[in-house]
Chains A and B, each alone.
Chain A
Amino acid sequence: LVNPAAPSPHFTAAPAGERPQSRYASWAGNIGELCGLVESLAVVAAEIGEPPPTDAEWYGQLFGKLRPQVTRDPVLVAAVCGGTNTGKSLITNVLVGGEISRSVPEAARTRCAVASLPRGLAGGIDLAALFPGFTPRPWTDGDDALGGTEQGDDLLFWREDPSGRQPERLILVDTPDVDGTLRENWQRAEAVRNACDVIIALLTQQKYNDAAVRDFFAAAAAANKSLIVVFNMVSWPAQRQRIAGWLSTFNAETGAAPLAVYAVPHDFARAEAGAIEFFQLPELTGGVADAAAGPVDLAAALSGVDFDRIKLRAMEGAYRVVLDSKSGMGGWLDRLEASSRQWQEARGVLAEEARVRVELPAAPRELVWSEIWDWLEPKRSRLDLGLTRVYRMAGSGVAWLGRRVGIGRTAEERQDDFAAIELAALKHALAEFIDRLDAACRRNPRLGTLLGNTLVQGDRASWYADLERRHAALPMVSDDYRTFVRGELDRFSRENPKFLQLLLTGLSLGSVARPCVTVGLFLAGSVAVPAAAAGHGLATLVHTAGDWVVCAAAPLAGEGVLGLTMAGLKPLIERLFAGWSAERSRALTETLHDVVLGDRLEEIDRRAGAAARPEVARARRLLHECGLEFSR
């Protein structure tokens, strides 16, 4: 009743050459390393806003085919694929020789992949690794494929062929549809497609030219899978002549070159009984037509193919997809680098825009002075103590009088006034900072994706509250600052023997510092801020740079100022005031860093540096090396 498969040129055995297994083994190291690199770079890619590579063809081939199959004993995976209600399950059942996947009149009912394994293979194979993304389950009955409940899992039911007729290294898989309204089914079918070597493409006259069907098989053809085309539900033999036209459209659209083409006549009764017939059309694959030929046994034909050759072809095809300079992994690296460059631009915009000059009020002189006096205390034997005391007493007398008539303020009141003005200046700066960040986000869409949400969803009231809290908690003079002052003075006095005399001149002149601090993000070449402001665990990404104006307050200071400048005392006093002001602005930088921006700055830095990561260079080198094998 059934003729043996007419051999097609593709079905003949390959000339004896090197064993493919040894080639796979030579690939294994590189593929393993590529996978590792992709996995670590995928995290970076996701961070910098690149769409995940998981949908890309090359990713499917690398992780779905090459990695699981390169190190294992080669098995040949053949999958039955096609649109909804084209009879995939029916064909699978016929190939397997039993109802492994229930065939029902309703469309898109097969929701799970079903695999038929040759007898004895189940124990020796890791199906979860061979079909990445699927959860293998032992098969119980034909309804398994229908997915029973609304299972979201990607299940793969497996069964060992009870008859023992299935060739020992062949796995047959029934897949869900590729064009229905449930997109999960498409993805499952694509996952099986990536893993397989041979695809039994099930077409009908209604669907052979549907875009969704075409795209599915075009990807398979691009990866050099071997295609066996089966036209189902054909009005046989009336439509036999039509099939050549359908197939040439299909081939032109997909780039496929099928190994063989079969037609299955439309016969409701036979389909019900699971006894459909396959008629080969050898004239469509380079053979000679035989109108009188009877039906053939597709299962037998399938077991007659040259496994090693088809496997190698599919493996090489998958490798080529990965190595393709445009659509392969290299293209992905290109996009990743381009993306990273955009982040570098974003970083530049931020450094340029997010920079605010904080006009702090003039520091209360006595704060800095009293630190200097304290330092001087042990050294004062050499000074005219009496004179100093007179000055101090006279000064305090005048101050008392001033307070009595209501025009003078106590030191505490002055500090309160100062703190209020300072807080206003810091708040003003914060408002401007937020405004500038908003503007930067509008200018650079990348920044918008990262900071926009922070700026819009962030609780701004709490930012200001945080700034107020930090400012209130900031001591007028911190221990850090004290240490800093002492260190500076010690150093200066060592370098300038006449220092004390000079210092006194400077002090009596009453230098006044008007601090002006610039707070910015990613400030390149920012002035190294005195120890007092740096090194508080603050990230180095929020910078404080200062320009300080020190000038003499007393009118009779002409000569003194000259002395100051000549002796290099001016820079010292500048630094002393600068350190203090920089510390004052710490409240703002800390609020900006800890509360407003969080770890976003580090993230921007990381993203901007993504392209420079060693993994990218290594991946490029590997791709180049692997490519050499195929270009030879």
Chain B
Amino acid sequence: MSESLPVVSQPQPPTGFDDAGFDELVTGLERWSGSLPDWPPGRRVRAEWDEVAARLDRARRELSRVLVVGVIGGTGTGKSTLVNALAGRDVSPAGDVARPTTVAPVVVVARDVDCSWLSLDGVGARVVTSDAPAVANIVLVDCPDPDTQGVDREATGPGPSTRPSDTNHNRDLLEKILPACDVLLLVATAQKYRSWSVASEVAAFAPGRPLLFVQTHASRDPDIRDDWRRELGRQGIDAPAVHRVDGLEAARRAAAGLEPEAGFAGLVRAIDEELVGRAARRVRRTGALDLAGWFLRQSGAQLDPYRQPVVDLTAGIAAERARLEGLMGKAVAGKLKASRPAWQRIMQDELVERWHGGPFAMFLHAIAALGSMWPRLRAGGLFGRVLSGQGLPHVAAGDGAWQSIEEVGLAEADVEQTRSILVGLAARAAIGEPMTGRVRLDESAVQSSVGTLMERTGNWLVGGVDRLVAARRDRVDSSLVRTACELVFSGVILAVLGRAAWNFFYGHLWMGRPVGGLGFLQEALVWIVLLGLLLRWVVFARIRAGLDQDIAALVTRLPGARLVDPFLQDFSTASAEVAAFLEVGDTLARRHEALASRVEEGRSSLGRLKGPGG
């Protein structure tokens, strides 16, 4: 009746395990998990990693140490009986007198094995030695059961107010012991293989711990191994082999020194082949790799809900930046277009600087000189100062800071609106203080942000205005226009002078007609000045042509200057950091997958947690 299912294949050597790759992965995980401590999900990932890292570290340090096999299962399933059979003598009390039987865990070691490294403090473990070959190269721990300790019930729950089981802490003990185990030997009977309390403990401790499965009570119970394997599959556990033994019979034969029956012999052989020597190293390595994979799956599940919100936040930042830049662009274009006198003055300065010599040039100089006799109105604000070539304005402190950017189209309320919207989007991605600031910037932040914005805007404007002026300089320099203007202007002057000369020499001196007085010259001067002004207007009109379009084009280049970034800096930095964190996590998961696929073919008959249960 007792036999082992012939699923166990000859274990393969761990040819595919990439030690260097795995070390690199662990280093990467270490760095990654701690890289974003200000982000709560990142912090949770780190907290999980701290537990996993300790185990991974131990697995690597203790690569050649014997494996600790924890025997777990519901009460009455025959854990102690099985341990006694494996130990070859009665080391752990077993029986049917009272449930639970095992209260203090029993650690079975071979006589020559030093197990001082096994830390089982505070669990009252009893260490016994055994010469049995089955436990010669492993440490076997008979664990308390998980199913007799009550849940933390309220004092008002049903039943007696005090129960004998109130002093039962078997599950607590079990949960202290299992972290020290490398492999779990899961014992079940027909009555208990679908036990909820056992399943929940296994779910908690199976990550990174290979599993051995044993159905006991083989002589009394029907064979439920196929159904058990289905149930394990539902819990996400892959169970290639399930052993079936009769513990009582095995213990009796072991004590009597008889040949073990087939099922038990199969279990002993599996322990020998899967958990001893080179196999132990492989178990530790693949266990560590599985643990890292489990950690990555857990973190992935932890982080998945934030992927879309981070994308939304990034999009929201772009949208808000565009909104603020739109407001700015509108104001800047309006202000530049409205500053007609300032443009006029700039062009005049250019003309005066470049045109010398001819009479028209002299005329222009004269007009400019006359204009300069009026004191120039002190240009205020950013635009006035930029267009008049004065330095950038100083940003006032306090509320004045906000007032100083109102002329570039931004109000405190607009910035607050943006930040309020972004705070909401960031909260969806669990991003908050200290990664990002408050909706309302504090005074120093306002001061520095506004200062940066004004400085950038000023520099950008200076550059833009310079480009606009430079584009017009060619038109100023055009010798054709200049020559034409000079010709027309000097022509008229020459004509007037010629006519005056004719009148004087021919009419007066020769013909003896009386001198016409200054009247003619006065009238001529008026016409000359008017002509000069007309020409000046034409020249300016030519230079100014297309200014509005050029200003519009200048404003379209505003987003490239990243002028409003100071107000969004904290959000864009935070979203970039989180996005990078997610990206690195994905990269590590892919790297783990590559490592895992290399060792897949070297798998043994041990069970393992593959993924979340169905």
Contacts and interface: CB of A to CB of B under 8 A. Distances in A.
Contact of A105 (B76, B157, B224, B424): B224
A210 B197 contact: yes
B533 interface: no
A431 B416 contact: yes
Interface-central residue, B98, B189, B414, B424, by most chain A CB under 10 Å: B424
B165 A214 contact: yes
A40 B20 CA distance: 65
Contact of B99 (A181, A209, A254, A455): A209
A179 B145 CA distance: 15
Interface in B159-173: 159-160, 163-165
Contacts of B159: 214-215, 218-219, 221-222, 253-255
Given A179-B197, A245-B98, A424-B414, A209 B428 contact: no
Interface stretch (A80-88, A336-344, A380-388, A577-585): A80-88
Contacts of B222: 105
A276 to B, nearest CB: 15
B196 A212 contact: yes
A204 B427 CA distance: 54
Interface string B177-221: 000000000000111111111010000000000000000000010
A458 B147 contact: no
Given A181-B195, A428-B412, A432-B440, A252 B163 contact: yes
B150 A461 contact: no
Most buried by A among B189, B320, B416, B428: B416
B52 interface: no
A427 interface: yes
A106 B76 CA distance: 18
A427 B428 contact: no
Nearest to B220: A266
A214 B99 CA distance: 13
Q: Identify the interface centre among A211, A331, A425: most chain B CB within 10 Å of its CB.
A: A211
B194 A108 contact: yes
B438 A435 contact: yes
Nearest to B162: A252
A300 interface: no
A181 B192 CA distance: 10
Contacts of A326: 156
A174 interface: no
B414 to A, nearest CB: 7
Given A211-B151, A456-B427, A239 B196 contact: no
A428 B402 CA distance: 13
B40 to A, nearest CB: 13
A569 to B, nearest CB: 35
A85 B196 CA distance: 13
Interface in B495-544: none
Given A212-B196, A221-B158, A461-B319, A438 B220 contact: no
B158 A327 contact: yes
A133 interface: no
Contacts of A212: 147, 196-197
A181 B199 contact: yes
A151 interface: no
B96 interface: yes
Contact of B190 (A105, A179, A252, A425): A105
A331 B156 contact: yes
B199 A206 contact: no
Interface in B104-140: none
Nearest to A331: B156
Contacts of A180: 194-196
Interface residues of A, number: 64
Given A85-B191, A461-B319, A253 B75 contact: no
| B: interface residue count bin | 35 or more
Nearest to A421: B411
B153 interface: yes
Nearest to A241: B97
Contact of B195 (A84, A221, A242): A84
B326 to A, nearest CB: 14
Identify which of A210, A252, A327, A430 gathers the most chain B CB atoms within 10 Å of its CB. A210
A466 interface: no
A434 interface: yes
B404 to A, nearest CB: 16
A107 B227 CA distance: 8
B439 interface: yes
Interface string B573-612: 0000000000000000000000000000000000000000
A480 to B, nearest CB: 27
A222 B99 contact: no
A57 interface: yes
Contacts of A84: 191-192, 194-195
A460 interface: yes
B416 A428 contact: yes
Most chain B CB neighbours (cut-off 10 Å) among A218, A219, A246: A218
A108 B230 CA distance: 13
Nearest to B195: A179
Contacts of A208: 99
A307 B151 CA distance: 35
A191 to B, nearest CB: 16
A498 interface: no
Contacts of A435: 420, 423, 438-440
Contact of A239 (B96, B235, B316, B423): B96
Contacts of A478: none
Contacts of B420: 430-431, 434-435, 460, 464
Interface string A58-88: 0000000000000000000000000111100
Contact of B413 (A245, A424, A458): A424
B243 interface: no
A391 to B, nearest CB: 34
A389 interface: no
B416 A179 contact: no
Contacts of A428: 412-413, 416
Contact of A215 (B150, B320, B423): B150
Nearest to B171: A211
B77 interface: yes
B74 interface: yes
A207 interface: yes
Contacts of A214: 150, 159, 163, 165
B192 A461 contact: no
Nearest to B154: A327
A211 B417 contact: no
B77 A206 contact: yes
Contact of B189 (A183, A206, A331): A206
B150 A431 contact: no
Interface in A417-437: 423-425, 427-428, 430-432, 434-435
Nearest to B190: A85
B421 A209 contact: no
Interface in B380-422: 411-414, 416-417, 419-421
23 contacts: A84-B191, A84-B194, A85-B190, A86-B191, A105-B227, A107-B190, A107-B224, A180-B195, A181-B199, A204-B76, A208-B99, A210-B148, A211-B165, A215-B159, A222-B158, A222-B159, A245-B97, A249-B99, A254-B160, A331-B156, A438-B423, A455-B427, A460-B420
Q: Shortest 6 CB-CB distances between A and B: which pairs? A: A218-B159, A206-B76, A222-B158, A105-B222, A424-B413, A209-B99
Given A206-B76, A222-B158, A431-B416, 4 more contacts: A177-B194, A181-B235, A207-B76, A431-B417
Interface of A: 57, 83-86, 105-108, 177, 179-181, 183, 204-212, 214-215, 218-219, 221-223, 233, 239, 242, 245-246, 249, 252-255, 266, 268, 321, 326-327, 331, 423-425, 427-428, 430-432, 434-435, 438, 455-458, 460-461, 464
Interface of B: 74-77, 96-100, 147-151, 153, 156-160, 163-165, 189-197, 199, 220, 222-224, 227, 231, 234-235, 316, 319-320, 411-414, 416-417, 419-421, 423-425, 427-428, 438-440
